[in-house]
Structure 1
Amino acid sequence: MKYIIYGGGPAALIPATEDIIERHGRHVRWIGVDRGAFTLAESGISMEKAVGDFDSVSRREWETIKTAVQLPEIYPPEKNETDLELAVDFAEKQKPEQIVIVGGTGGRMDHFLSAVHLMEMSRSYLTIEDKVNRMCSLEAGLHCVSRSSFPYVSFLPATDTVEGLTLKGFRYDLSNRKLTKKSTLCISNEWNYTEAEVSFRTGRLLMVESRDMY
Structure 2
Amino acid sequence: MKCLIMSGGVKPKDEIIKQYADFCDLIIGVDKGCNYLYDLDIKPNYIVGDFDSSNIEVIEALEKRGSVKYKYKCEKDFTDSEEAFELAISSEVTEIYFLGATGQRFDHTLGNLGLLLKALKYNVRAEIIDDRNKILLVNSNTSIKNEKEYKYISFLAYNETIREFSIKKAKYELNKYNLEVGDSRTVSNEFISDEIEIELSNGNIIIIFSKD
In the superposition, the TM-score normalised over structure 1's length comes to 0.91
How many Å separate the matches in 2 of 1:109 and 1:95? 29
77, 94, 99: which one aligns with 1:97: 94
Which residue of the partner structure matches residue 104 of structure 2?
Answer: 107
Matches within 5 A, 1:134-213: 134-139=134-139, 141-148=140-147, 149-212=149-212
**Residue type of the partner of 1:74?**
K
- How much has 1:82 moved relative to structure 2? 0.7
Residue identity over aligned pairs, in percent, reads 28
Aligned amino acid, residue 205 of structure 1:
I
Structure 2 vs 1, CA of residues 44 and 55 (structure 1 numbering), >3 Å: closer, same or farther?
Answer: same
- Hey, what's the Cα distance between the residues in 2 that align with 1:210 and 1:178? 24
- Give the 3-state SS of the residue equivalent to 1:202 in structure 2: coil
- Which aligned pairs between 1:1-214 and structure 2 lie closer than 5 A? 1-11=1-11, 14-16=12-14, 18-22=15-19, 25-122=22-119, 123=122, 124-139=124-139, 141-148=140-147, 149-212=149-212
What is the total number of aligned residue pairs between the two structures? Answer: 208
CA shift at 1:132, angstroms? 0.4
Shift in Å, 1:73: 1.3
Query: Secondary structure of the equivalent of 1:144?
Result: strand
Q: What is the deviation of 1:67?
A: 3.3
TM normalised by structure 2 equals 0.92
**For residues 88-128 of structure 1, what are the alpha-carbon distances to aligned partners after superposition, in whole Å with 9 as ceiling and x for unaligned?**
01101222221011101012111111101111222221111
Q: CA deviation at 1:20?
A: 4.0
Separation of aligned partners in 2, 1:27 and 1:58? 24
1 or 2, which has the higher strand percentage? Answer: 1
Deviations 1:153-198 (Å, cap 9, x if unpaired)? Answer: 0000012210111111211011111100131110011111112211
Distance 2:66 2:51 in 1: 14
Question: Quick one: structure 1 residues 207 and 20, their matched pair in 2 at CA, closer, same or farther if it must change by over 3 Å?
Answer: same
* Segments ≥4 residues shifted beyond 4 Å: none
* Aligned alpha-carbon RMSD (Å): 1.6
Consecutive unaligned residues in structure 2, runs of 5 or more: none
